[in-house]
Amino acid sequence: MHDRKAIERTFGELKQWHGLGRARYRGKWRVAIQVYLTFLVVNVKRIVNLIQGRASKPVPAS
C-alpha cells in the first residue's frame, strides 16, 4: 500500500500542478509529447531537489 500512495501522490502532482488533468492539444502524438515533456520536468525537479539535499517527504504510514 505504501508504494501506491507514493505513486498516486506523483500522479496527483502531475494532474494538479502540471496540467495533465486535461490534454492541451488534440491528437495522440501531440498529447504524448505533452506527457513526455511533463514527465521530464517532474524528473528534473526531483533531480534538483536531490542535488540540493531536499529529498521528498516520506509518505506517512497509515
Structure confidence by residue, pLDDT tens digits, 30-57: 988 988 998 899 899 989 989 998 766 6
As for how many domains the chain has, the answer is 1
Query: Quick one: pLDDT at residue 20?
Result: 80
Kindly list the distances between the CA atom of residue 55 and the CA atoms of 24, 26, 33, 40, 46, in Å, as whole numbers in the listed order: 30, 36, 28, 18, 8
In this prediction, residue 60 carries a pLDDT of 59
Q: Give a yes or no: residue 19 inside a domain.
A: yes
Structural domain span for residue 23: 2-51
Q: What is the pLDDT of residue 58?
A: 60
Rounded distance, CA 4 to CA 25, Å? 29
User: Quick one: which of 7, 32, 5 has its CA closest to 20?
Assistant: 32
Cβ neighbours around 20 below 10 Å, total:
19
Percent with pLDDT over 70 in the chain: 84
Is residue 34 one of the residues assigned to a domain?
Answer: yes
User: Would the pLDDT of 1 be above 70?
Assistant: no
For residues 18 and 38, the answer to whether their CB atoms sit within 8 Å is: yes
Q: Which three cell numbers stand for residue 35?
A: 506527457
